[in-house]
A and B are shown apart, each in its own frame.
Chain A
Amino acid sequence: EPEVTQTPSHQVTQMGQEVILRCVPISNHLYFYWYRQILGQKVEFLVSFYNNEISEKSEIFDDQFSVERPDGSNFTLKIRSTKLEDSAMYFCASMPGRWAGNQPQHFGDGTRLSIL
């Protein structure tokens, strides 16, 4: 069964450094998402992306964050200048077609980001 792939599985970065998290969504999917889960807390929506632009973003997704689909397969999340509070598990998800309520999002295994 096709799956969403995220790399790396664990990223350790110094505070203030830029980090790029990579995702390869399922190949025929059109909608892409990033969520994060701070240790011990709930999974939180960050951003949705469709047709090469952001569809919706949360208040967490400030100017330090950006997303990109640089080619036909990758979907990236960049954090420009990392803070300690950015330490979390970041999940990428994708969905095949236009949202109609009955299509679930397919999640990757996540990238654990640790900021030192």
Chain B
Amino acid sequence: AQSVTQLGSHVSVSEGALVLLRCNYSSSVPPYLFWYVQYPNQGLQLLLKYTSAATLVKGINGFEAEFKKSETSFHLTKPSAHMSDAAEYFCAVSENTDKLIFGTGTRLQVFP
């Protein structure tokens, strides 16, 4: 069965520092992987998606993620954090259906 594990429910970084949010997946077939962001009192907004075209995926707001099959990982990174990046980030996977399976989320705090 497909599942997603996000290590670290909270991550804190200084403004300008590297952001690394971890996501590992379990899937019996090549998965489709997504990162969504949720700002306070808002819905889920797609940051980026992996659909097997390229292992390094670039998304909005300077975020990117690399699919590593050998590590079953899809970690989200951003070279330089901005205060506006503070939000909750969800990794999600889907296999042969359109049902999204979400991780538990990682709350990113950015300090000045």
Contact = CB atoms under 8 A, between A and B. Distances in A.
Pairing of A with B: yes
A113 B44 CA distance: 17
B98 A105 contact: yes
A110 B43 contact: yes
Interface stretch (B10-18, B66-74, B78-86, B100-108): B100-108
Interface of B: 32, 34, 36, 41-46, 49, 51-53, 90, 92, 94, 97-105
A108 B101 CA distance: 17
A6 B44 CA distance: 13
A44 B98 CA distance: 13
Given A43-B100, A101-B52, 4 more contacts: A43-B44, A48-B99, A102-B51, A104-B46
B52 to A, nearest CB: 8
A56 B97 CA distance: 9
A55 to B, nearest CB: 8
A41 interface: yes
Contacts of B103: 42
Given A48-B98, A48-B99, A99-B98, A107 B44 contact: yes
Contacts of A15: none
B43 A109 contact: yes
Given A91-B44, A102-B51, A42 B104 contact: yes
Interface string A9-41: 000000000000000000000010101000001
